[in-house]
Structure 1
Amino acid sequence: MIEFWLCAGLLLLTALAFLLLPVVRGRGVQAEEDRTALNVTLYQERLQELQTQHASGALDDAQLQRGRDEAARELLADTEGAEAQRKRGVLGSKIPFAAALLMPVLGYFLYMHWGAIDELERARNFANQPQSIEEMTARLEANLESNPESAEGWYFLGRTYMAQDRAGDAAQAFERAIGIAGRAPELLGQWAQALYFAGNKQWSEQLQGLTEEVLQADPEEVTTLGLLGIAAYEEGRYQAAVDYWQRLVAVLPAGDPSRQAIEGGIARARQELGQAETPEAVTEDTVHTLQVRVQLNPELQGQVQADDSVFVFARAVSGPPMPLAVKRLRVADLPAQVSLSDSDAMMPQLKLSAFEQVELVARVSRAGNATAGEWIGRSQPLASDTVELQQLVIDQVDSPAR
């Protein structure tokens, strides 16, 4: 902050220079007074000279009077100019001196009231790169002490706590961010992840509710998909872990550094799945697999784009509106045949095999939203253990209410 006060001091000195300039100029007032005294002396000498000339007969009475009048006019003109200059000098010296004394004090109190010295200090601190994660944490904590309503500050502090394996502190930070910014899916996902690790990887009703809320709002929220995969793997539900992580890999950018680790987790889960899976489990999964052939009505070809997302899912006829099993394609992939089974469940407790009748739906969404799009196709209700291939044609305008 020394640089700031130095700059402020220089600006103050510049302002004072302008204020005190009239005072410096006022030094000429004394010189003007001296000149007036000299004029008076010269006037008196002129009168004496005129009187001497009149006494010697060189001037008559009329000439003497004219000489006196002319000398008086010259003296009066010089005296009036000096008096005006003197008054201006006195007035011009008092006001600048008063302003020069008041300006620093007034400026200080005005800045302390309306200034932004705290923001300046924070900007100065964050301008320098932290040398360690502990230093970054200290900066974020100090920033939040003075600005506790910053949702961004709480979010980044939570991420920093997670990097330090302080999951409990991170959960509190994310909860504060949600209280300020609202229940955005990405914030809820981070909060759920912190709660999971803070609770020693024990699943809870709170975590279940949070993850369901997130996936309803954003089926592709990456933190939540990763968390559900981790939880499924820790509980020995390797197929569910594979499914969640595959959905996560599908939405990650090609150059994302976490792809390799996630793909490694998928490989380990498949290895565990191959060792643990029994023939009975395979038979049960086969019974609850729906085969669906999806195609687009030819009349809609000109109204869709090749990269538009196509969500194919099954949902309960009598049950929650959330899909029981879902697959994602592109318009360019159509026509295509997909299979829907318990392994494609969005939620572990909502499986295809848990409901007797389901409806098949295929939705085209340019925005990549599984819950709303432009075009849709639906099937008639059918048994969840149907083995025949089902035909599904996308041929209707999607309605938000349906």
Structure 2
Amino acid sequence: MTALWLTFALMTGAAAFVVLGALARGRTATADAEADAAVYRDQIDEIGRDRARGLIDEREAEGARTEVARRLIAASERADEIVATEGATRRRRIAALAALVVIPAVSLGFYGALGKPDLPDLPLASRQSETPDLQNLADLAMRVEAAIAKNPNDGRGYAVVAPVYMRLGRPQDAATAYANAIRLLGSTPDRQADLGEALFAAADGVVTAGAREAFEASVAGDDPSVKGSFYLARAAEQDGDMAGAVARLRPLVAKAPEDAPYLEALRGELQRIADVPAMPMPSKSAMEQPKTPEERMAMIRTMVDGLGERLSKDGGDVGEWLRLVRARAALGDVEKAREALKSAREKFGGDGRAAMRLEALALGLGLEGRGA
């Protein structure tokens, strides 16, 4: 135990001298804090570039931006505090005395009464992977708002707080923040797409005129936003233009890297557009019978095969053919799924809407396009 207390004393003394050094180097500390803030701003820009290249998905980008924003605000506040204390020599000396004498005495006293050296540690990796809770996000938003109140032309502040507002379920505030970021920092495809998404969320899932304008701006340049194209497809579907929606999504699927984090979202959207009816459930008595996993799979295959046989004889409607194609693909019978798709197209070739639903499903399941 003596060794433990000696270790604590040495560590405390070392920390105290570090504090003294920081107090004695106010201007150097200010420069360091400002340099840290500049690094964090560059990291936010780099996250945006990674998101645009498809190296990370939106959720990962949002989480990374939130964490870097937290560090940026802390660095900015640290710089403000250091500037405020420069020139206050007497106060620094008092603080130094406290660092050398009072703080170690009080800390060791409290640790002697409350400390638990036998507790397990909390690894850094696990702490970094934790998702900030809503209260922490709300606190972060308030701190950024306070900084913006002091400097209303701080475009970085608006860029930092906008995704936080989205996480907090405040899309209208997010839209205002994104608009201010665009006004102060300039328009980029990502900022325009984020603005449109916030307006879309604020309108309860409707692509408004303002959202459409932002999405159009996000795809107008040489580096069009995937998110913007995604929502423009939703706008086309909203207007009853299914062919236009599929036309927006088709090239995104074709050009997406194989490991693009948004590829599954695109395919999911295409399947949603296809509007495939659910497979009928087995009867209650059949479900109640005890079965092994192999027996359940055999029962499902029997149902799908029965549907295929009936459609080959009776024709059926487009919803049933869509159901058959998806069921075949889900069971891993890719060739049978393609055969069913071909038969359905032959049958519904003259029905434009049915043809679009079949194409959307084929792209969404990977039966055509990338990976086919």
Q: TM-score, normalised by structure 1?
A: 0.37
Comparing both structures, which one devotes a greater share of its residues to strand?
Answer: 1
Larger RCO (CA within 8 A; separation ≥ 6): 2
Comparing both structures, which one devotes a greater share of its residues to helix?
Answer: 2
